[in-house]
Structure 1
Amino acid sequence: MKITKILNSSVVRAVDENNNEVILAGKGIGFHHKEGDFVSLDQTEKIFVLKDKNENKNFVQLVKDTPQEYFEASSAIIEYALKQLSAKLYEHIFIALTDHINFTIQREKKGIYIQNRLLWEIKKFYPNEFKIGKYAVNFLNQKFQINLPEEEAGNIAFHFVNAQTNEKDMYQTMMIANIMKDILNIVKLHFKIILDKDSLNYIRFITHIQFFSQRLLEDRFIDSKDDFLYNQIKLKYSKELECSQRINNYIQSTFGKELSKDEIVYLVLHINRVTERVKS
C-alpha cells in the first residue's frame, strides 16, 4: 500500500493494490514513513476502507480536531473488543469511537455528564458489549486521569452494538421495524389507548421491543428457567399478561417460536409502565 498523506504520527492515508483509499493506523507509522512510501500489512495495526468522499472528508477533519492519543486509545479498546466478540465489526467503529472519546473527555473536563437512561437495558440485554464499555471506561480513566461514570460504559457499549454487522443487516432492520410496529398495534388495540410517544416509558418500551426483536430473529431469548417472577406477575398484572400472551400468539403464528417466561415477564413490566398513566 502506498502512503498518500501523513495525518499524524499514528495515522496515514493510503491507496491499496486496487486503488481503494484506505486509512492505516499503527504506532509510529506516520513518524517512520513519508508520502510515497510503500507499507506492508505487518507494519499496520488497523486498516479502514473509506467507502465514499464524505467519510473520507469526515475522517480527515476528525484527525485535525482530535489528539493523537485518542486514536491510540480507540485502537486499544477495539483490539480488546475483537477478543470478546465473535462478530465482525464495521470499520466505522474506529472513527465513531475516536470521535466519541474526544467529545466525552472534553465534556468530562468541563464537568458535564450525560445520563444514560437505557443503562439497565444495555446491561441486561448486551452484557458482552457492556463488559467492553466497562473496560473502556477503566482504560480511559487510568490513561487520561479522568473520572468517567458507569453511564459512559453504556454509551460506549452502544457503539459496539451498532458496529456488529453481517450481510443480512438490511433485511433484519426491516423485519425489526415490522415486528415493533405489530407489537405496538397489539398493545394499543388490547388496551384501546393512544400511547404517549413523548414519555420516557414509551422510549423505554420502544427500546425494549427493538432489543426483543433482535433476540427473536437471532434465536437468543432470555431464559433463566426461574418461574418466580412469572408467578408473581400472573397475580399482579393480569391485563398486561393477557396482552403479552397475544404478542406470544403473534410470534408463534408469524415465526413459529414461543416466548420464554422471562421474555413475557419483561414485556409485562414494560407494558404496565407504558400504559399506566394513559389508562388512568
Structure 2
Amino acid sequence: MKIKKVLNNNAVIVNEDGTEKIVMGSGIAFQKKKNDIVPKAKIEKVFVMEDALEYEKFQEILSTLPMEHIKIAEEIISYAEGVLMAPLNDHIHVALTDHLSFAIERLKQGYVIQNKLLAEIKALYKKEYEIGLWAKQRINEQMNIDIPEDEVGYIALHIHTAKMNRTSVKTTLDVTTFISDVVELVEKEFKIKIKDQSVAYQRLLTHLRFAFQRLQEQEPFHEIDEEMLQVIKKNHKKAYQVAEKISSMVKTDYGYELPLSEHAYIALHIQRLAEK
C-alpha cells in the first residue's frame, strides 16, 4: 500500500487495487512522502467514500483542522457505533468533526453555546444524548475543555442523523424544531407547564416524531373512520382545535399537509397531556 498523498502526520491517501482510500493511524505519515509504503502496524482506520464531494471535504478537514479535534471526533464516532451496534453514515466524519472543531474554538474564545431544542433532544434521542455525555467527559479528559449540555445536544443530533443514514442534519433539526414548537403551543393554549418525564409527554413526542417522518418520507398514514373523528372533535374540542393549529403550522413552515386522521390522533395525545 503506497502513499499517494500525505494529509498530515496521522492521515494519508493511498491507491489500493484501483481504489483511492484515506488511511489513518497515529504517526502513520511521520517522515513519509509520496510512494513510500504505509506501515501496516500503524493503520487504525481506512475510509472509502463513494461520494466525491464528501471525500473532498474529508480530505480538507484532515489537512486543515487540528489533529486533536479530528482524533477526539473519531473516538466519539467509534464509541457511538459500538453503543448503537450499527455503522453510521460516512458523512458523520465530515459533519461531526467540522462541528466539534468549531464548537471547541468558540468555547476557547469564551462564546456561550445555546441549544433551544435541548429538552426535546434529550427526550427524543436518549441513546444519542448519552453518547454525547460520554463525549463531554472524554473531551474534558483529553483536552481539558468542559463543553456545556447544550453542545452535548448538538453532538446527539449529528449522531442521530448519521444513525438514520442521512447526510444532512437539517432533516433531524426540522423534526426536533417542529416538536419543540408543538410543545410550546400546547403549553400556551392550555396554560400548563409540561413535565418532560411524564408518560403522556413521551407518547406525544413519539407520535409527532413518526408523523413528521412519514411526511418527510411521503409514507401513508393510518385512517380513522368518520364516526370516531366526529366523537373526538366533539368530546375534545379544544385539543382538536390545537391539533388544527399544529396542522396549519406544518403547512406554513414546512409545506406538508397533515391528514384529518392525524388531527384526531394528535388531539387525543394533547388531551391526555392536558389532563395530566
Q: Same fold (TM over 0.5)?
A: yes
Cα distance, 1:132 vs structure 2: 0.9
User: Comparing 99-108 with 35-44, which one deviates more in the overlay?
Assistant: 35-44
> 1 CA distance for matches of 2:77 and 2:151?
16
CA shift digits 1:120-150 (9 cap, x unpaired):
1111010011111111112112211122110
Confirm or deny that 1:201 pairs with 2:199: no
> 2 CA distance for matches of 1:140 and 1:165?
25
Q: Say if 1:123 and 1:3 are closer, same or farther in 2 by CA, change over 3 A.
A: same
Q: Say if 1:2 and 1:69 are closer, same or farther in 2 by CA, change over 3 A.
A: same
Q: Say if 1:34 and 1:149 are closer, same or farther in 2 by CA, change over 3 A.
A: same
CA shift digits 1:83-119 (9 cap, x unpaired):
1113321122122222122111110011112311111
**1:20 alignment partner AA:** T
Once the two structures are superposed, the pairs formed by residues 120-269 of structure 1 within 5 Å of their partners are: 120-165=119-164, 201=181, 211-213=209-211, 238-241=237-240, 250=261, 264-265=269-270
> 2 CA distance for matches of 1:132 and 1:108?
20
Scaled by the length of structure 2, the TM-score of the pair is: 0.63
Q: 2:115 maps to which residue?
A: 116
**1:115 alignment partner AA:** Q
Q: Say if 1:77 and 1:204 are closer, same or farther in 2 by CA, change over 3 A.
A: farther
> What secondary structure, in the 3-state scheme, does the structure 1 residue paired with 2:35 have?
coil
Confirm or deny that 1:2 pairs with 2:7: no
**1:264 alignment partner AA:** H
> 2 CA distance for matches of 1:203 and 1:69?
39
Unmatched 5+ stretches in structure 2: 186-204, 216-235, 248-257
> 2 CA distance for matches of 1:267 and 1:7?
57
Q: 2:28 maps to which residue?
A: 29
Aligned alpha-carbon RMSD (Å): 4.2
> 1 CA distance for matches of 2:161 and 2:64?
24
Q: 1:64 maps to which residue?
A: 63
> 1 CA distance for matches of 2:83 and 2:31?
32
Q: Are the aligned partners of 2:12 and 2:23 in contact in 1 as well (CA < 8 Å)?
A: yes
Confirm or deny that 1:77 pairs with 2:76: yes
Q: Say if 1:54 and 1:248 are closer, same or farther in 2 by CA, change over 3 A.
A: closer
Q: Say if 1:123 and 1:266 are closer, same or farther in 2 by CA, change over 3 A.
A: farther
Q: 2:200 maps to which residue?
A: none
**2:13 alignment partner AA:** R
> 1 CA distance for matches of 2:83 and 2:9?
28
Unmatched 5+ stretches in structure 1: 181-196, 218-236, 253-257, 270-280
CA shift digits 1:236-259 (9 cap, x unpaired):
x7522576599797269xxxxx96
Scaled by the length of structure 1, the TM-score of the pair is: 0.62
Instruction: State percent identity of aligned pairs.
Output: 33
User: Comparing 139-148 with 154-163, which one deviates more in the overlay?
Assistant: 139-148
Q: Are the aligned partners of 1:74 and 1:101 in contact in 2 as well (CA < 8 Å)?
A: yes
> What secondary structure, in the 3-state scheme, does the structure 1 residue paired with 2:121 have?
helix
Q: 1:220 maps to which residue?
A: none
Q: Are the aligned partners of 2:28 and 2:39 in contact in 1 as well (CA < 8 Å)?
A: no
Once the two structures are superposed, the pairs formed by residues 9-48 of structure 1 within 5 Å of their partners are: 9-17=9-17, 19-31=18-30, 33-39=32-38, 43-48=42-47
Q: 1:186 maps to which residue?
A: none
Q: Say if 1:251 and 1:145 are closer, same or farther in 2 by CA, change over 3 A.
A: same
Once the two structures are superposed, the pairs formed by residues 91-106 of structure 1 within 5 Å of their partners are: 91-106=90-105
User: Comparing 145-154 with 82-91, which one deviates more in the overlay?
Assistant: 82-91
Q: Are the aligned partners of 1:241 and 1:264 in contact in 2 as well (CA < 8 Å)?
A: no
